[in-house]
């Protein structure tokens, strides 16, 4: 399904993520796109928290770490493609090995490497700035069991 949700605050964006995270079944891949400061990391932290991730500190600063892994209900991988120069580099990180039925993969700046996702079933989320602290979150290919509205 496809849906658009509006968030009025960083806390609300995290809460949206928590609700998604709590419903995960494993095997999901999220391509999280949107400009600088649109809330990709807040959403990711919420999803991780909702999934029961124990090591939340590891998702705080993905800019300097290409892959953050942490345990919880699933093996959860948080990737940031911002500093990647090519799809080949992304694939060289072992992206394919991260995707399996008991894992959840969250990719910030996924639009930079989207060709690497061809053929995979993934949820695409586009965040955009609205007035003041408003952010819109546009979800595509969201499975019904993850519906948040
Ligand atoms: N409704 C909102 N949802 C999320 N963040 C918001 C919202 N309103 C304001 N903000 C602010 O916008 C910023 C979002 O930061 P965040 O790191 O989540 O964005 P990002 O998209 O991951 O950025 P980057 O591209 O640098 O990784 C934070 O400073 C946060 O406080
Ligand atoms: Mg970020």
Binned at pLDDT 50, 70 and 90, residue 80 comes out as confident
Cα distance from N-terminal residue to C-terminal residue, the chain: 12
Spatial CA neighbour of 55 closest among 39, 75, 37: 75
Cβ(135) to ligand 1 under 6 A? yes
Check if CATH label 3.40.50.300 holds for domain 3-143.
yes
The rounded Cα 84 to chain-centroid distance in angstroms is: 17
Q: Choose the residue to mutate in 10, 61, 138 for probing ligand 1, maximizing ligand atoms within 8 Å of C-beta.
A: 10
Binned at pLDDT 50, 70 and 90, residue 149 comes out as confident
Cβ(44) to ligand 1 under 6 A? no
Cβ(37) to ligand 1 under 6 A? yes
φ, ψ of residue 126 in degrees (nearest 5):
-110, 120
Name the β-bridge partners of 76: 70, 104
Distance 28 CA to ligand 2 centre (A): 19
Q: What mean pLDDT comes out for the span 83-92? A: 83
Q: Return the C-alpha torsion angle 66, 53, 27, 6, nearest 10.
A: -90
**Ligand 2 (single-atom ion) residues, CB below 5 Å:** 40-41
What does the pLDDT read at residue 62?
47
List the structure tokens of 103. 């894992």
Binned at pLDDT 50, 70 and 90, residue 139 comes out as very high
What does the pLDDT read at residue 137?
98
Q: Nearest residue CA, atom 11 of ligand 1? A: 10
Tens digits of per-residue pLDDT, 38-69?
A: 999 999 999 999 998 876 545 444 444 556 76
Tens digits of per-residue pLDDT, 92-130?
A: 878 888 899 999 999 999 999 999 999 999 999 999 999
Q: What is the mean pLDDT of the chain?
A: 88
What does the pLDDT read at residue 63?
46
What does the pLDDT read at residue 28?
97
């Amino acid at each position: 399904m496809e849906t658009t949700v509006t968030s009025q605050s960083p806390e609300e964006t995290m809460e949206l993520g928590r609700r998604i995270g709590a419903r995960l079944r494993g095997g999901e891949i999220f391509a999280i796109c949107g400009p600088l400061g649109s809330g990709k990391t807040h959403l990711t932290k919420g999803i991780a928290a909702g999934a029961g991730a124990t090591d939340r500190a590891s998702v705080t600063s993905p800019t300097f770490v290409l892959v953050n892994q942490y345990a919880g209900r699933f093996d959860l991988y948080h990737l940031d493609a911002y500093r990647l120069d090519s799809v080949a580099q992304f694939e060289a990180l072992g992206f394919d090995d991260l995707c399996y039925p008991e894992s959840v993969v969250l990719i910030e700046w996924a639009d930079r490497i989207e060709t690497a996702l061809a053929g995979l079933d993934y949820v695409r989320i586009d965040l955009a700035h609205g007035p003041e602290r408003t952010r819109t979150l546009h979800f595509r290919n969201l499975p019904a069991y993850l519906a948040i509205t």
